[in-house]
Amino acid sequence: MKQIQRRSWAEPFKIKSVEPLRMTTREEREQTIKEAGYNTFLLRSRDVYIDLLTDSGTNAMSDFQWAGMMLGDEAYAGSENYYNLEKAVQEFYGYKHLVPTHQGRGAENLISQILIKKGDYVPGNMYFTTTRLHQELAGGNFVDVIIDEAHDPQNTFPFKGNVDLQKYENLIKKVGAEKIAYITIGATVNMAGGQPISMENLRAVFQLSQKNKIKVVFDATRAMENAFFIKKREKGYENKTIKEILLEMCSYSDAATMSGKKDLLVNIGGFLAINDDAIFEEARNMVVIYEGLHTYGGLAGRDMEAMARGIQEACQLDHLQARIGQVEYVGNRLLELGIPIVTPIGGHAIFLDAKKFYPQLEQLKFPAQTLAAELYLDSGIRAMERGIVSAGRNKETGDHYYPKLELVRLTFPRRVYTQAHCDVTVESVYEVWQNRESVKGLKMIYEPKYLRFFQARFEKL
């Protein structure tokens, strides 16, 4: 007999401070999204009802973190908060050296410039927008070595973030290990739908890299959330703590870039963490040019303190369970309604399959961009395009990349929205799904040179 669950699940926190939300009318939204060139990045936040644009820097801090903000040691050099952060990074991530940066891309810039020579190759488990751009600006060529399953929204493999070792080995054979600057390994791979990488795969990638003297740079941005999936899905890890799993994950890399704005429950902050003394020396010197002195890297003392405290909270199991549980709740409700999303449900977001919403639109009519605009028009909910606009252009040929995945991301900030907000979101997505047949797509009328998805403008066809 099926066991009856006697208790519902609930968030492991209560709310101490609130921020009012503003609802708009459909007429108002028609005006605001038109003015924003049908790009949700160009909307004013005051015109948004539920903001699912990103989980980056949008998290709610705890009272413990806010209390830490008051202990900011705002010294130009040698702030106490830097040492607190260094200690937390060493304890939880296990790397030897810390270089703080204002956010993730600051760290990506440093490591790309230090390790990449013109014409080098940089393999990775799917591209991330800023990561690949910094690699290219440093003269590198990104090569996708993620498993094929990752490009298929319906494939339910539990570790769709894994590296295809054969693809990686083929690249080493083809170009030679000395032409590979390093391999970037992302956790809960963002562009694949928040899909985790397994410990077994991390270990194998590291072994193959070491054998060929290739460095592994870990994008630890959502590594805590990846550790949670390893605990839930990988044999042998059920009884390990998130902290133990995270330490083992990081042990299979030489350095990490980190956007603290995600996992670490802060609004700003990031770092580069490194084991090698010589690379650290260089990064510590270079950070002074781009970010600030090596003991603050573009952050205020209080920001470093909030991040140091965030590290401790982020790896608590009840937090991760609630965070990933919320995303799962939305995903399961959408699946019940027959709405096409990327499966398995990812860690930080639900990814709507825009190709399935709008089979009538070819990719150059921007199905995902269109879907994000339609969702906003319906309810004021803001999502993000993750399809052909985000993919950008091939820097050699100048042609668009045509990614297999044409997705809209509903990204959940941590500890911000309630289950009722989730229900409203599901209802709005359902409404947009029901009205899918009449949709005609968009035309791009302005395209910036770098990371075009942030600022491109469109018109309705």
Contact residue for ligand F0G among 39, 84, 131, 201 (CB under 6 A): 131
Whose Cβ is closer to ligand F0G: residue 361's or residue 410's? 410
Instruction: Indicate whether 130 belongs to the interface with ligand F0G (CB under 6 A).
Output: yes
273 and 110 in contact (C-beta within 8 Å)?
no
**Structure-token pair, residue 293:** 């002195």
392 and 136 in contact (C-beta within 8 Å)?
no
DSSP H helical segments within 188-316, as ranges?
A: 199-211, 223-233, 242-251, 277-290, 301-314
Closest separation between CB of residue 128 and ligand F0G, Å? 5
Q: Is 138 exposed, middle or buried (0-12, 13-18, 19+ CB in 10 A)?
A: buried
The CB-side HSE value for 379 (13 A sphere, CA atoms) comes to 21
Contact residue for ligand F0G among 195, 259, 379, 428 (CB under 6 A): 259
Contact positions with ligand F0G (CB under 6 A) in 175-194: 186, 190
What does the radius of gyration of the chain's CA atoms come to, in whole angstroms?
21
The CB-side HSE value for 455 (13 A sphere, CA atoms) comes to 5
Whose Cβ is closer to ligand F0G: residue 56's or residue 253's? 56
What does the per-residue mask of binding to ligand F0G show for 208-247, with x meaning CB under 6 A? -----------x-x--------------------------
DSSP H helical segments within 315-456, as ranges?
A: 317-336, 354-357, 367-379, 388-391, 419-434
Contact residue for ligand F0G among 94, 100, 104, 161 (CB under 6 A): 104
Contact residue for ligand F0G among 103, 109, 162, 184 (CB under 6 A): 103
Closest separation between CB of residue 188 and ligand F0G, Å? 8
Closest separation between CB of residue 54 and ligand F0G, Å? 3
Closest separation between CB of residue 339 and ligand F0G, Å? 22
Instruction: Indicate whether 125 belongs to the interface with ligand F0G (CB under 6 A).
Output: no
Instruction: Indicate whether 270 belongs to the interface with ligand F0G (CB under 6 A).
Output: yes
Is 423 in a helix, a strand, or coil? helix
Whose Cβ is closer to ligand F0G: residue 195's or residue 370's? 195
Instruction: Indicate whether 382 belongs to the interface with ligand F0G (CB under 6 A).
Output: no
**Could you list the active site residues?**
76, 128-129, 219, 262, 386, 453
Closest separation between CB of residue 160 and ligand F0G, Å? 15
SS3 content of the chain, % helix, strand, coil (to 5): 45, 15, 40
Instruction: Indicate whether 326 belongs to the interface with ligand F0G (CB under 6 A).
Output: no
DSSP H helical segments within 385-454, as ranges?
A: 388-391, 419-434
**Structure-token pair, residue 183:** 């391999």
Under the rule (CB under 6 A), what is the footprint of ligand F0G? 54, 56, 103-105, 128, 130-131, 186, 190, 219, 221, 259, 261, 270
